[in-house]
A and B are shown apart, each in its own frame.
Chain A
């Protein structure tokens, strides 16, 4: 059999098995906490209870499986700290997901909509939305997601621009944190913490190293670390075992492919 010309469907089947089998075993592994996750955790931990914090659901429906554990961990932290949470979305698909997640976690902590948190909804054209909120949040969002004027919520009616927000948290699957850095941080020196998909880490790293962004809690490992810091082991911990085995599977495939190609060449 010529291994270097394996039908891709065979690879697909093997890949499927590499994921399914470990899931069935349901093994929970432990994680080491890294500095990156600790950075965002500490930033939130240092806020005083009752301070405002903005959380932006900057992701699309497609990356929900990866973003869900991250969003859950961050929201748990925000509500546990009794912060006043302002939710919004800069991707249209994040709108409904953000609202669902926010309501779900707020419910667990017995938080009241309008008093402890609000959800502003979605604005297109993220650059002008991010810049606009620096001038006035209420001008950008005169109404919340439920179509009530934001000024009617006495706890939130005094919001002006970024000056009132010690921290913005961006839960992102794509490059939105870079826009937060390029516009909110560059123009208004707004602190922006990031929980993001693992795929974005190398792209964002220069921004973290230079202090333009804070964090990140990244991917399933970041979520597991965050869970450990909050002492609430959950979904991210459960997924790590399958994650490990699948990585190993891909590495083995690459080695096999190279050996097969090498043997083919020698012949």
Chain B
């Protein structure tokens, strides 16, 4: 067994121990995980972004334009101060504003128009009818200007059933994913760590 396997196995078991109950072993692993992941993030961010997109263009290419976002970025640190926090709203506003601007056409095209067009199917087929009824009744469920009574109540109720089918199918698929992950970890413990050759 290699050192790698031993280290990985110890931490794997520490996390699994949470299933029995919260314990010092898990708590230590939890805090190490938080620390290591923050450290990883810090290094990747500085190397991949600050160095390559701010420092190098500034030093080698004399690209003065990058000073603007860098200064705006530094303004974020105002958050750490008790009473100057509002300064950080300036870079935040740029992020949020530009983010909102690009999202409007993107959402409209990809989530609304494209999905509408894909739902306009000939009604001779069963799937054409089901898709239309499903989309319309689900939209009815999420219509808030009217109480769900009478004919509208029936429509919204139909929507609920479609939603439940969707959630059920999702549940099934998710079980599949989670089980795969567990099998992966168990294979590691059984094959690599304990050396039981299957």
Contacts and interface: CB of A to CB of B under 8 A. Distances in A.
A and B touch in the complex (CB under 8 A): yes
Interface of A: 9, 12, 16, 19-20, 23-26, 62-66, 68, 92-93, 95-96, 121-124, 127, 131, 142-143, 147, 181-183, 185-187, 197-203, 206, 209-212, 218-221, 239, 242-243, 246-247, 250
8 contacts: A66-B181, A122-B44, A183-B102, A187-B106, A198-B176, A220-B183, A239-B187, A250-B175
A73 to B, nearest CB: 14
Contact of B174 (A19, A199, A209, A239): A199
A220 B41 CA distance: 29
A177 B149 CA distance: 38
A123 B47 CA distance: 11
A182 B173 contact: no
Interface in B72-98: none
A206 B115 contact: yes
Contact of A186 (B99, B109, B196): B109
Nearest to A131: B102
Interface stretch (B24-32, B48-56, B139-147): B48-56
A198 B174 contact: yes
B198 A247 contact: no
B114 A92 contact: no
Interface in B144-198: 166, 169-170, 173-187, 190, 196, 198
A152 to B, nearest CB: 14
A202 B169 CA distance: 7
Given A24-B198, A92-B40, A142-B53, A239 B183 contact: yes
A18 B188 CA distance: 16
B52 A212 contact: no
A147 B107 contact: no
B134 to A, nearest CB: 11
B117 interface: yes
Contact of A93 (B40, B47, B185): B40
Nearest to B21: A9
Contacts of A221: 176
A227 to B, nearest CB: 14
Which of A19, A20, A24, A202 gathers the greatest number of chain B CB atoms within 10 Å?
Answer: A202
Given A63-B181, A93-B40, A127 B102 contact: yes
